[in-house]
Amino acid sequence: MPGLLVILSIMPAVVSTSVVAGRMYAAEMPDPGEQNAMTYAQQADLVALGARIWTGTGTHAGGAGADGRDGEPSAVAARGGRIVAVGADSTVRVLIGPRTRVIEASGRRVIPGMTDSHTHLIGGGLQLEQLMLRGLSCHADFLAAVAAAARDRRPGEWVLGRGWTVDSWADPQPPDAAMLDAVTGAVPVYLVRMDGHQALVNSAALRLAGIDASGPPDPPGGEIERDPKTGAPLGILKESAMDLVSARIPPPTWEQRCAALRRAVAHAHALGITSVHDMSEPDDLAVFRWALAEGDLTLRVFVYLHVEQDWPRWAGQLAETAREEHLAMCGFKAFMDGSLGSRTAYMREPYRDAAPHERYPRGQLTALAGDADRFRQMLHIGDAHGLRLAVHAIGDEANHILLDAYEALPRRGQRPSVTLNRIEHAQHLLVEDIPRFARLNVAASMQPLHKADDGRYAERALSTEQLRGSYAYRQLLDAGALLCFGSDWPVVEMNPFAGVDSAVNARTLAGNVWLPEHSIKVEEALRAYTVSPARAVGASDRLGTIEVGKLADLVILSDDPFTIPAEQVGELTVAVTIVDGKIVYERAAVGK
């Protein structure tokens, strides 16, 4: 285990310290003559010494489990938000002046700031205040949690929650409206499944939305589950049918959205995340801009905007928006299909467990994806404005159709400043489509913890042949694809090291190993959280690696992912997170 990590602010007459772990430590002061000779313009704002720095610029000697190569940098300095030196302690120490913040890393591993390549930032911040149902193990625990929340609601208030799934329950029978009615009464309830592609509601919510045995019909790209004999709604709404009820929920206030963003930013920094690629709603933009103006947006947010129509107007607005270092408009978010867990991901062959009466045995394309002309229009409008698409596609046929659409676009070069078109999730691929990602210069934006979820039940839904291209990290990298990792928070937890663990060790949430032949190495997973996301948004000239001239976004870890056993990488935590050369998260001290 590395030694103590100590942060010191060196002032002309005193040394002020804050200890992250362990006892107080007296750092070596610069020579007084050097301090007097050094101008404030020359000295660093922050210096980290005694570290083991993975710059991300090359291949770590031996990869996972290696001891590190000779000559590995041990120090880094930042000034004016940029990295000004990377090297040995002796060469970087000369930049320490009276105002320099000094971190004695004591052998800890330093890596570039991490990027979550797929978040719903404000939604995640709001979710931190809502009912979290993930991890419950049975119907009784689920209903008890909902009942407790309903008891606290005033008249007219909703119970909102997320994260439920029956895949790990002993009795996998999905809950329904009748079950909720017994514990909620007249309190309306809206509970989003773990994958975000279906919702469970009670009868009070159905009444508010006007859903009963007589109607309305299924909306395009959605389904209202009904009793096959009576037509009565069962309380399960899939895909676009969720909107029938969610539209009745009072939206969060401006104050609530601003508070949610603050919570989300703090949560991300505590996990070593310095940038996100956010799948944003139009209302989110004003909150981001407010936070930027207030100086609260210490996280770098690259926006992909989810709008259903009026793309020319939005494309013009996004293209004209100046790209700030902490807020950049990259393009549009769109959907091709649903999810595996809800059986709405669009597959070439029917699901193995599709019921004989199943209306959509292969899943569903969204209304947008099902309208080829409209979808093609969106692609070309974005492309004409220099914007890119981040399109959700999970089923193998949905991915195939999307790759065909990308192939029909004008070809772009592979310059570092070019933002790439992407496929979000890319979970289940036709094996023959895997090489197309590199050939078409399309980023595969994937979420490893989804594999940990899906591995508990995917073999019930998909054939052995279909699984050959599922979560194909190894195959995509071997084919030369750009692989970016994220969380889809709040669908799953944001912790990137849980994602590294899943990508490397192939463990499901049930503790089994699933599709280990698709696994990658620790360093490859870290690159998917650092180097590759910067490339995907055209920011590799300033982000993703620890190099002189780049933005000073750094993370100091609790331990070294290259020396601990690979099966322990999920236990890594963050000691310090640095953005623009300033500490934005520091683990609480345990002593003084």
Ramachandran region, residue 113 (left: φ > 0; alpha: ψ -120 to 50; beta: rest): beta
Q: How confident is the model at residue 6 (pLDDT cuts 50, 70, 90)?
A: low
DSSP H helix total and E strand total for the chain? 21, 25
What confidence tens digit (pLDDT) does each residue in 349-402 have?
999 999 888 889 999 999 888 888 888 888 889 888 888 999 999 999 999 999
Cis check for the bond before 490: say yes or no (omega within 30 of 0): yes
Within the chain, all domains assigned CATH 2.30.40.10 are found at 5-113+551-586
Q: How confident is the model at residue 2 (pLDDT cuts 50, 70, 90)?
A: low
Q: State how far the Cα of 321 lies from the Cα of 288, in Å rounded to an integer.
A: 13
Asked if 578 and 584 touch (Cβ cutoff 8 Å), the reply is yes
Instruction: Work out the percent of the chain whose per-residue pLDDT is above 90.
Output: 67
Q: State how far the Cα of 64 lies from the Cα of 524, in Å rounded to an integer.
A: 9
Within the chain, all domains assigned CATH 3.10.310.70 are found at 122-246
Report pTM: 0.84
Out of 2.40.30.10, 3.40.50.11750, 1.10.3720.10, 2.30.40.10, the CATH code matching 5-113+551-586 is 2.30.40.10
Pairing of strands 189-193, 159-164: parallel
CATH of domain 122-246: 3.10.310.70
Q: How confident is the model at residue 36 (pLDDT cuts 50, 70, 90)?
A: very low
143 pLDDT higher than 80: yes
Residues whose CB is less than 8 angstroms from the CB of residue 66 and which lie 6 or more positions away in sequence, other chains included: 60, 562, 563
Q: State how far the Cα of 184 lies from the Cα of 207, in Å rounded to an integer.
A: 14
Where is average pLDDT lowest: 2-11, 160-169, 211-220, 319-328?
2-11
What mean pLDDT do residues 530-548 have?
97
